[in-house]
A and B are shown apart, each in its own frame.
Chain A
Amino acid sequence: MTTRTPDRSQDEDQARAHAALLRDAVVGRVSRRDLVKRGAALGLGASAIAGMLLNYGAAKTAAQGTSPLAGQTFDMKILGIEGWPPSQLGVDLATELFAPFAQQTLGYTVNFSFEGAPFDQLFQRAATSLQSQSNEYNIIISDSQWIGALAARNWILPLNPIIEQNPELSIEFEPTARAGYQVYPDGSDQLWGFPQEGDTIALFVRQDLFSQQAERDAFQAANGFALPQTFEEWEQIDIDQYAQICAFFTRPDQNLFGMSTQWSKVYDYITCYLYPFMFSTGGEVWDPATGQVEGILNTETNAAAMEKNKSFLQYAPSGATNHGIPELVDVFTSGSIATCLQWSALGPQMMNQQAGAEPGTVADPARPVTPDGVLIVPPPGFRQADGTLRRTYTLGGQPWVINAYNTPEQTQVAIDFMKFWYLPETQAEFAARGGNPCTIEALAAPGFEEQQPHFRAYKYMIQNERSRDFWHSPSYAEMLLAQQEAFSAYVTDVVTDPMQALTYAACTQQQILFDSEESEIEPSDACADATL
């Protein structure tokens, strides 16, 4: 395994030149011929240059027409997730690309700033500001489940009339992304958000370990099947085989463990990583039409799924019940675990790859895991009765939503920005920097799957209903709180019966939905004894 020495200044210069070229192309300041020449000089791939060329005209078309805002200056603030690279990417592109675009083609000056809050505090920050009818945050990168609460209070703009008036925004998104990031109530045609960043769960594998011949031989001898080496081979791995793989690599004496994933009580961490065990084995969590939870969440199927999920703790390092997003990045890149179930959007971080640099550039040379030693593949499937494999994992990612208390001018700038964001060039640049696009066009672009190491797994998991979102309900926060407590209590042995934890969560959630008049179903008498 080789470790490339990062030459930061060179990389930064190249990134700047790349951005400048894209900017020039977007505003039509460069001819097609020069575009090809400069792109080739920068070492861009043929697909990247072709993408720019193909959509060269579209950018100019979008840019045509005089904005009524011409000559004015606007300060726009985006609220996003602190420490979450995709959020930062959106703001970087707004500042680097949209600001000059707006200046040159729309005739106004716009200055973007970013304010971040951690996942578990993002909604609190947004809600308290929106409750006071403030336009402090003009655009908000919300978590997908918050759309219900934001829409129910009319804190964000409904997008249907905006899309009607701006047909450029009638974009075809991957159906999973549309359902997860745009629609509320579920199943309706009412749109409230634009996908900012798609995300799915992926399996990160220490390929440097897995590819060692001695390991492969030993595993084959011990388990009777070969250690998977490729994306296609991992596609065929079911959860029981994955458990065998994890068991094989669990070697506490070498400070090596088979796997880890999110079991933390914080925010939605354990929920997002326990649900796939339920969804993929036929379990459900509620009926969005009637708001029924009791009897749907607390079932034997889901109890078995919880047991299965918990059984993986034996292959995880000590302290895994506190593992959330950052802990997993740390524990994986420090070489303590052989595999890790984690959000695909964290591909560069999980691979110890320097953000924004050429793929393969090591971010922290002191860490044993390097980009060329990691393989990103689909998470394990669950064997069905008919022998087929099913993967229904939780959808991650975030939409953009527009503050309803913006001034008309601010709303117009936000709409202009959205139009710019979904230009094929912008989406291509977003992808080039590691962001997960959601448009059908971007996902189908030639060479997309090879563009970033995590793109193939991301595309695989976001398509064909392999990922799904949950609870677009205004009561999301309360329901999540009760459930996180219940799930955390079970994995930490505070309660040992999974059905007890499920019943507590189901009864509490049923009461919440009944109290908020989102459901007419009252908790049953059996709930009187439900406790943790």
Chain B
Amino acid sequence: MAQLETQLDGVGSAPAGLPPAETLAPPRLRGGLRALDDSRFFPIFLLTPILIFFLVWNVIPLLWLLGLSFYRYKLTSSRAEKYVGFENFRDIYESSALWGTLGRTLTFMVTTVGLATVLGVGLGLLFWGSTRMPGRRLALTMLFTPMVLPPIAVGTFYRLIYDPTFGVANYYADRIFGRTFDFLGDKDLAFPAVIAVDVWMWTPFMILMTLAALGSVPKAELEAAEVDRLPWSKRLRYIVLPHGKFILMLGILLRTIDAFKTTDLVYLMTNGGPGKQTETVGLNLYRTGFEAFQMGDASSLAVVTLLIAVAFTSIYLYVLNFRESRAQAQTGAGA
């Protein structure tokens, strides 16, 4: 008991070598500031700057965009903008060309995200299991390089790499197949050529997400699995995936949204051509707004694009939460 009292006595005093407790305490606020600190409005006060920023740079432009989508407004026309109701949206609905572009964008999105995920997860697992590999850190740094390059640089590089006259790709194509290919000018090759570049560029991101997901798996469980001599497939299914799936899904979600709005890479590599063979929704939007200057049409397309992106996000989050809640429900029922 005496020992306990001694310990309690020491709680309020500073350990040896440190200044007294009163000097470590936060400085006392003066009257007005103290009142503000205690006020329930204080969190709002702290959030105000970012809320203003968000309002000015996000909410107002978004509302402006929404409003503009109901007008026929051309930047190059001398006529005043005209309210047309849902006509712009009806035009989108009735445009077979735009549906074609949308379909192409979805194909692009599914293919690039799918391939990057498969490759990323595979390479991520290999790196995860090769901690003793010499030069691992350097290899990882090199591997992440494509991801940090700006798309404008990647697009330009690959235009040159794919060039039919002096491109490296055609040098090897000539040596292997005995002929060259017009990768970006051929109607059948241009789309796969762009997809390949996007996969090259974003696979490292999925490797990164995979490594992050694997890092979140508790070591104790992995060691237990090793002791139990669980095969790799079961370790992945029962230990790695349940712990890492949220991070992995987050990576897939981010990539899906990003792939859906791909513009710059396609613009630089093919400008949407040949014909419209590589045109994505993002590029169509850019061209409608900033090449044809049809601001009303571009705004309505932007609204539709936004809704699609929101829908994707919602579906992913729903799937993730649904499985989570089902797992919790099962755990609860078991208990």
Contact = CB atoms under 8 A, between A and B. Distances in A.
A80 interface: no
B180 A477 contact: no
A336 B79 contact: no
B78 A152 contact: yes
A516 B79 contact: yes
Interface string A443-486: 00000000000000000000000000000001111100100010
B97 A124 contact: no
Given A474-B77, A475-B76, A318 B274 contact: no
A124 B164 CA distance: 31
A515 interface: yes
B258 interface: no
A478 B72 CA distance: 14
B291 interface: yes
Interface string A250-276: 000000000000001110000000000
Interface stretch (B182-190, B221-229, B311-319, B325-333): B182-190
> How many B residues are at the interface, by size bracket?
20 to 34
Interface stretch (A48-56, A216-224, A284-292, A489-497): A489-497
A515 B72 contact: yes
B275 A321 contact: no
A489 B182 contact: no
Given A317-B165, A516-B77, A516-B79, A265 B272 contact: yes
Given A266-B271, A322-B185, A492-B186, A477 B79 contact: no
Contacts of B185: 318-322, 492
A481 B74 CA distance: 15
Interface in A84-138: 120, 124, 127, 131
Interface in A318-346: 318-322, 331, 334, 336
A251 to B, nearest CB: 15
B292 A477 contact: yes
A16 to B, nearest CB: 35
B292 A322 contact: no
A126 to B, nearest CB: 11
Contacts of A166: none
A135 B76 CA distance: 18
A256 B232 CA distance: 58
A301 to B, nearest CB: 23
Among B164, B293, B294, which residue has the most Cβ atoms of chain A within 10 A?
A: B293
28 contacts: A124-B290, A127-B75, A131-B75, A152-B76, A154-B78, A265-B273, A266-B271, A318-B185, A319-B165, A320-B185, A321-B182, A321-B185, A321-B273, A322-B182, A331-B165, A474-B76, A474-B78, A477-B291, A478-B294, A481-B287, A485-B272, A489-B276, A492-B187, A492-B274, A492-B277, A493-B187, A516-B77, A532-B97
Given A321-B185, A492-B277, 11 more contacts: A127-B293, A152-B76, A154-B78, A318-B181, A319-B163, A321-B274, A475-B77, A485-B273, A492-B187, A492-B275, A517-B79
